[in-house]
Amino acid sequence: MPTKVIIGAQWGDEGKGKIVDILASNADAVVRYSGGNNAGHTLVINGEKYALHLIPSGILRPGTICVVGNGVVIDPEFIVKEIDSLIARGVSMDNLLISDRSHLIFPYHKLLDELQENFRGKNDIGTTKKGIGPAYMDKTERCGIRMCDLSNPDTFAEKVKANVEFKNLLIEKVYGVNGFVAEEIIEKYLAYGERLKPHIADTTKILYEMAKQGKNILFEGAQSSLLDLDYGTYPYVTSSHPAAGGVCIGSGIGPTMIDECFGVVKAYTTRVGKGPFPSELNDEIGDRIRERGQEYGTTTGRPRRCGWFDAVLVKFSVRVNALTGIVVNRADTLGSFDKVKLCVAYEKDGQITTAFPASLEDLAKMKPVYEEFDGWDENLSGCEKFDDLPESLQRYLRRIEESCETKVVMVGIGPGREDIIMVN
Ligand code: IMP
């Protein structure tokens, strides 16, 4: 299948980067289509750790074209630093392309993200404070400034001045803190523009031509379906469309050009930020999962909330993204427990349901209905195929398939590129 989408099917941090990196060995291009440097992928290659935020995971495969699509919001200072740190480790940037239609994150977006979060007080969303939401707000408000604007210094300067004038009013008059000097931003950003110039292109055209020629293209989701602006647990979501539908808008590839869509999940559930989480474990089991899985944010370092696998939530993801299969990561992390629980339904006021509610007030009232499984050994390193996995883990995975109404296509059994079992 030439065009494949890889998305997160829970609340993010499912280990998509590793799966994209594995599949990228056959890919001609890897494409990011949404989000910004709120995302973080950690890859372990030959024992070396790489934390990527904006640049697609395919960059570690020489020869693979890596595209940052138009749906991504880009902090140019950040991407220049990411490029430099990869170059310092010997990674080539020759194949990095950045969409000329992508929107820029400015310092006022980052400050406003923080000020808005502080203003929300106990109702804060728990954003990464990278300016993602305010940058997408400007995009829909139609005052956003794009990568292509950097190639025209005069109009770029005019646009920045107009935005800074308005943002300063908000920052100074509403929030009472110091605003920005437009000229300083303009000078810095035009320098970033020069630096990024060799990478900026009409990536929609390049991808369209590649898809027409039947090339293998991988679309790498950031965040996840449950953080999607429409399908996520609104308002505790990000401001873009990480769901599969976001691929078309965020990269310029039409729906008829997409062949397959895999959702990545962990063998348990985590989330950062706020919002109801029915299978959350606020006990020593949750702490043990966090420590075993080192469940701390790649981007913010925040401890992730941990809980049992929620099949109701993943079944919802399977449906709204029309997933053709799921990848279950971190089966090793869940090893060593005597018993493992799987949430197969919710109960509210004596009623059992497998429907995932829109209302967060309803979701907060849902009590998980669990099935219990025997645990398995944490060391799965000798396993090469599904049948090699401990029987209790096989039973657990088969029940996940049944309750989520999809098939398991891969199982992650460790952090490395080689620690993966292909199932179908
Ligand atoms: P924002 O994307 O920074 O606006 O944050 C909105 C919500 O999405 C918060 O709950 C964040 O913690 C969450 N979020 C954003 N990016 C990621 C990610 O890559 N993994 C997990 N959660 C994320």
Reduced to 3 states, what is the DSSP secondary structure of residue 346?
Answer: strand
- Is the CB of residue 221 below 6 angstroms from any atom belonging to ligand 1? no
Percent of all residues in the chain with a pLDDT value above 70, rounded to a whole number:
100
Angstrom CA distances, 143 to 158, 166, 241, stand at 12, 11, 20
Distance 401 CA to ligand 1 centre (A): 27
Residue 45's SS3 state is: strand
Q: Which domains does the chain have, with CATH numbers?
A: 3-100+199-261 (3.40.440.10), 103-196 (1.10.300.10), 265-422 (3.90.170.10)
The residue count for the chain? 424
Mean pLDDT over 367-372 rounds to 98
What distance separates the 2 farthest-apart alpha carbons in the chain? 66
Local structure of residue 122 (DSSP, 8 states): G
Give the C-alpha separation, 25 to 62, whole Å: 9
Going from the Cα of 222 to the center of ligand 1, the distance in angstroms, rounded, reads 10
Please tell me the residue having the least CA distance from ligand 1 atom 16.
38
Above 80 in pLDDT, residue 148? yes
| Entry pTM | 0.95
- Would you state the pLDDT for residue 45? 81
* 406 touches ligand 1 (CB under 6 Å): no
Nearest to 368 by CA among 403, 394, 337: 403
Is residue 348 over pLDDT 90? Answer: yes
Q: What is the pLDDT of residues 387-406, one digit of tens each?
A: 999 999 999 999 999 999 99
Q: Look up 84 and say whether it is catalytic.
A: no
pLDDT tens digits, 9-57? 999 999 998 899 899 889 999 999 999 999 988 888 888 888 899 999 8
**pLDDT for res 43:** 80
Beta strands in 136-258 (DSSP E): 200-201, 217-220
pLDDT of residue 17: 87
pLDDT tens digit string along 263-319? 999 999 999 988 999 999 999 999 999 999 999 987 788 899 999 999 999 999 999
pLDDT of 126 over the 60 cut: yes
**Which atom belonging to ligand 1 lies closest to the Cα atom of 133?**
4
For the ranges 75-79, 100-104, 420-424, the lowest mean pLDDT is seen at 420-424
Q: Is the pLDDT of residue 250 over 80?
A: yes
pLDDT class of 1 with cuts at 50, 70, 90: low
Task: Answer yes or no: is pLDDT of 374 > 80.
Answer: yes
Please tell me the predicted confidence (pLDDT) of residue 220. 95
Beta strands in 160-254 (DSSP E): 200-201, 217-220
